[in-house]
């Protein structure tokens, strides 16, 4: 892999997982040697999540003809090493995640990029998943042009 993109959300259950899988599915078609991974900033806040991945993520991927492996992993907590191993880090919702980053990973807060896709409580998945779809495509377009930091 040429480089790694790290997608972050709160619980690594819904938004970041969609972005990771969708990015990895589409990147070869863009001619990119890039790999996405995803992590949660505060996975303990997702204690009520059922199973390894959100059903909204699975549905969104299936609607895009992407099969989700039945052995899919459970959410993972982000560590400093994840930041160090990524060339680009994107958190799913600036309003939600910038304060979490400031509290938990202050040295990284201003070094990452932020999208504007809120969690289920604030944005219906019928709107959020298409927004993530568009954001991933826009990111792939930028990366294909060699623009890692021009956001």
- pLDDT at site 149: 62
10-43 burial, b for 16+ CB within 10 Å, e for fewer? Answer: bbbbbbbbbbbbbbbbbbeeeebebebbbbbbbb
Which sign, positive or negative, has the C-alpha torsion 134, 18, 63, 69? positive
Contact 78, 105 (CB under 8 A): yes
Is residue 151 a part of any domain in this protein? no
Instruction: Give the Cβ contact number of residue 102 at 10 Å.
Output: 12
Is residue 140 a part of any domain in this protein? yes
Is residue 18 a part of any domain in this protein? yes
Instruction: Spell out the per-residue pLDDT of the chain, length 151, in tens.
Output: 588 999 999 999 999 999 999 999 999 999 999 999 999 999 999 878 888 999 999 999 999 999 988 779 999 999 999 999 999 999 999 999 999 999 999 999 999 999 999 999 999 999 999 999 999 999 999 999 987 764 4
Is residue 136 a part of any domain in this protein? yes
Q: Does the reported pTM lie above 0.75?
A: yes
Is residue 150 a part of any domain in this protein? no
Question: Could you tell me the residue range of the domain that residue 70 belongs to?
Answer: 3-144
Is residue 127 a part of any domain in this protein? yes
Output DSSP code: residue 126.
Answer: H
Q: What is the pLDDT of residues 85-129, one digit of tens each?
A: 999 999 999 999 999 999 999 999 999 999 999 999 999 999 999
Interacting residues of 123 by C-beta distance below 8 A, sequence separation 6+: 117, 131
CATH number of the domain encompassing residue 53: 3.40.50.2300
Is residue 22 a part of any domain in this protein? yes
Gap between the Cα atoms of 83 and 103, Å rounded: 16
Gap between the Cα atoms of 125 and 67, Å rounded: 19
Count of structural domains within the chain:
1
- pLDDT at site 151: 40
- pLDDT at site 76: 97
Is residue 149 a part of any domain in this protein? no
- pLDDT at site 34: 93
């Amino acid at each position: 892999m040429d480089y790694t993109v790290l997608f972050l959300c709160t619980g690594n259950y819904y938004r970041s997982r969609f972005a990771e899988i969708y990015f990895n599915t589409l990147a070869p078609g863009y001619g990119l040697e890039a790999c996405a991974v995803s992590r949660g900033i505060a996975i303990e806040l997702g204690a009520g999540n059922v199973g390894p991945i959100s059903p909204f993520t699975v549905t969104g991927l299936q609607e895009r003809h992407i099969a989700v492996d039945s052995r899919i992993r459970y959410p993972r907590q982000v560590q400093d090493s994840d930041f160090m191993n990524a060339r680009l880090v994107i958190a799913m919702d600036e309003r939600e995640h910038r304060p979490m980053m400031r509290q938990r990973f202050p040295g990284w807060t201003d070094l990452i990029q932020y999208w504007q896709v809120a969690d289920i409580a604030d944005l219906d998945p019928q709107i959020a998943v298409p927004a993530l779809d568009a954001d991933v495509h826009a990111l792939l377009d930028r990366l294909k042009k060699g623009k890692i930091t021009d956001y």
